[in-house]
Chains A and B, each alone.
Chain A
Amino acid sequence: MQRFLDPVVLAGISSLDLLAKTVVDGFVAGLHRSPDFGFSQEFAEYRAYVPGDDLRHVDWNLFARTERCYLKRYRGETNSQLTVLLDASNSMRYTSGPPPKMDYARFVAASILYLAIHNQRDAAGLIVFDDEVREYIRPSRRQGQLTRLFAGLENAEPRARTNFGGPLEHFQALLHRRGLAIVISDFYEDPEVIVRTIEPLRFHGNDVVLFHILDPQELRPELKGPAILVDLETDREIEVIPEYTKTTYRTKIDSHIEQLRSRVQGAGMDYHLLLTNQPLDSALREYLSLRKAAN
């Protein structure tokens, strides 16, 4: 089933719904059911009463029939709220091969949203932003929420520039309830600015995860000769020589990633680097582990 998580294969699936289902089902089929028990409505098993157990959990109906004390146990369940903040700036349009960063970000977002709503029964919402909040879908578990979320993702075409500072206020206003916030972006900004912008979300009790989407060519660009590079967001052009990309650029991008990871983790958030040629399961696994930690 792993091959269904391959981004190249997923790029051929036009429907986000189907894509998310394929990813999540494939992912879940490889997982073991959680051994934790909780307080959800889903019955798990009966267990004989032992001294010290809370009497509130005794199944009195069963005691009435059998005169024996059994405790009724349920599967663990939380009511987490998941909000995906998706960067839809022009820089996300970059690609060196299928899929583009934007599509990959959509796949990640769709898979996580599907997993949250369909499997975890969490309330899930979506914020699409560039230099402002372009779309906001309130977190909900209502019927049709998943469809709305997917429609929001479909409409999230890259444009404009990234500006974390602008939509910040909206984030804080929108994420007033404790939950899980996943920021998906290529984070072409000073790590200090990024952390300073996103850190306030943490103050509301949210668990914040940064999914850093990068194309492999952005990590190790290949230039066969001097080339003119144009910035997708600013349209600025400069001439770059291969020697630079082979040496200085690599140092800079590696430093940026490391700095971002360090700063983000220093601020109590999680950071996860996703390359567009990697399978999606690492993102899903990250989500589940965070959700478990939150409970």
Chain B
Amino acid sequence: MGFLSPWFLTGLAALGVPVFVHLLRKHVTTPRPVSSLMFFERGIQSSTRHKRLRYLVLFALRAALVLLVVLAFAAPFIRRPASDANGRLFLIVLDKSFSMRAGTRFADAKRQALATLAAKPHAQKAQVLALGGQLEMLTQPISDQAQLRSALESIQPGDGRANFGELGRSIRTMSETVKTPIDLHLFSDMQRTAMPANFADMVFPPNVTLTLHAEAKGTAPPNWTIERLSAPPELSDPKDPKRSHVQAVVAGFGTPAVEKTLSLLVNGKSIASRKVNVPANGRITVDFAPIDVGYGFNRCEIKIEGSDAFPADDASIFVIRRSDPERVLFVHASNDTRSALYFGAALEATGQTSFVLQSVSAEQTTDLDPSKYAFVVLSDAVTLPSIFEHALAQFVSKGGSVLMTLGTNAGRHARIPLWGADAKDVHDYARTIGAATVSQVDFTYPALLQEQPERDNGGWAEAKFFYAASVDPGQARVAARLNDGTPLLLDKQQGEGHILLFTSGFENLTNDLPLHPVFVSFVDKAARYLSGRERLTGSQVVDSFVQLRSNAAPIGEVASVEVIDPDGKRPLSLGEARTVQTYQLRRAGFYQVRYANGRDAAIGVNPDRRESDLQPMADDVQQLWSGSGNTAPPQSSSANVTDEAKYRRVNLWWYVMLFALAVALAETVLASSYMATQREEA
């Protein structure tokens, strides 16, 4: 038993009040004169006896009342065993991440988990979870041993990456709903790379007792893997030395220096091999060039010959699509010839994609069909033939994309074709503040994507803008803004397609952006984004998502998507194929995807290469996590946590207060009865 607020116990001094009143205070009796004592007799009940007998109960009640009120404020509690075994949830978490495929790790872990499950009390409820790319709950908390065993046996090794931080978050969420204490048994290889950046993310709440069943101990076995891969997703000319090459980085974990042979396989046929000397625990880059691939999707694979401790990660797959260069329609104003030059030069400078720019003036677009182009650029072309504008609208609604720029013509024609809104105003910075700069850039936006932008806003801060149109963003996404808040780059979705609006021009008059390196990067990424090629080919990591259709439902049309997994099966039902927007690539291998806009894609999916580092967590970290170690401060807290988990604190103040109320009532009744007696005597 203990007290949550023991300082209130000092209030016990108040017990002296009833003690003083009833026991210590002397009855100061003033002699009362009477005419004669002729008829009086000495009382047979002495005053002391009177006090002791008559008011003893009242004194006891008053003392008890004070005692109970003080106790109630001190908030007493008792510790009861948190619960018996039947009151605890037995949680079995089996790691099925990609690294568990190494050796017999998964089989050992599953066998050990089954043994642990068999050893638990039959009446105790248990739940089976699988830790892969995400935490999967395979059962509800049940005590059916057969069902639990079946769920455990159904777990197969996956290709996802385990994340103990994700596990910690999920268990913390679970503990908020499951009030009973949790005994968590984790069967894993305790991979170091599965730890989150912040250790606190993987700490469990106090009512969870973690028991680690590490399948890998000591030093990790040597393992080589292809850590990174760089290959062109699109290739138009296999003999082009700039584009037709594949670059792979071979990394060794806990490995000695050794010579390795790498093979490049295209559609199952080995077309090239390289011998490289991989340094101890090091990395080496290998180039394959040129790449001889046929038209269409080519399923490629780079493989490390010879086996190691973890053969599953020795190969890395990707897809190269060979096609003729796609055309890009560049529509410019009749008086603007510079923008096509700058845009075409930037498009040519990019090595990843192959586009052919077709530049026409706005007046020449009458007979053009936009659907024959990868995407369309409207450079300051605010006046378009109505038939072409209509064709463009249809093109966009069916999944095509248009990039529009607003040059000086925007000041004369407020209407912006396709956009659905007019330019509110134009800012001529050259006449006011000289020049505006880009202050805000959304680097998560695909056309501006930069993983680690420099301090100069990823190069955007260098560009000076002298002229820009002011457009109400409305529902559009603002990807970049000038320093006066004017939106610079907006993205609006219409149907299945996108319209990008650049509120300045590409002609090197309204700004000097075409002269900066960031322009090439922007054009490259924007071209890939607008053509939709970034999601058509290449390689992805397991558990990443592909967007199958746009967020906005197509108007008047429900198009089906199709996904074929590495086994050649269709994981989506017909209903899902008509409604699902994204699909998670949960397995390694080649996926075939048909998007809602009718485009086909082939994607090579590789496991996260952090799974290839088989080095387990240090023992002290494991002990710190499970709270079973003997090291200093965290251990004491974890001991407390264990103690808290073992015992349940039952607060008694409510009962004490209730009892005090009853005593107060009894005291009131008793004291009132005494007073009533005195009144009757009177």
Contacts and interface: CB of A to CB of B under 8 A. Distances in A.
Interface residues of A, number: 39
A162 B405 CA distance: 133
Interface stretch (A34-42, A120-128, A216-224): A216-224
A166 B341 CA distance: 153
A224 B35 CA distance: 19
15 contacts: A101-B35, A188-B36, A221-B34, A224-B678, A225-B47, A226-B27, A229-B32, A232-B35, A238-B37, A239-B42, A239-B43, A241-B44, A241-B45, A241-B50, A256-B39
B37 A234 contact: yes
Contact of A226 (B29, B34, B36, B38): B29
A229 B29 contact: no
Interface string B10-52: 0000000000000000010111111111111111111100100
Contacts of A101: 35
B45 A231 contact: no
Contacts of A228: 29-32
Contact of A215 (B35, B38, B43, B46): B35
B41 A248 contact: yes
A241 to B, nearest CB: 3
A103 to B, nearest CB: 14
Question: Secondary structure at chain B's binding surface: helix, strand, loop or mixed?
Answer: loop
B682 interface: yes
Given A94-B35, A215-B35, A232-B33, A226 B41 contact: no
Contacts of A245: 40
A246 B43 CA distance: 12
Contacts of B682: 222, 224
Contacts of B681: 222-224, 242, 246
Contacts of B41: 238, 240, 244, 248
B546 to A, nearest CB: 95
A243 B45 contact: yes
Contacts of A206: none
Interface in A200-223: 215, 218, 221-223
Contacts of B37: 229, 231, 234, 236, 238
Given A222-B681, A241-B44, A242-B681, A188 B38 contact: yes
A233 B34 CA distance: 9
B39 A230 contact: no
Nearest to A213: B35
B30 to A, nearest CB: 8
B138 to A, nearest CB: 79
Given A224-B678, A238-B41, A91 B32 contact: no
Contacts of A231: 33-37
Interface in A145-164: none
A238 B47 contact: no
A177 to B, nearest CB: 33
A186 B34 contact: no
Contacts of A225: 27, 47, 50
Contacts of B31: 228-230, 237
A268 to B, nearest CB: 26
A76 to B, nearest CB: 41
B545 to A, nearest CB: 89
A239 B44 CA distance: 9
Contact of B36 (A91, A222, A246): A91
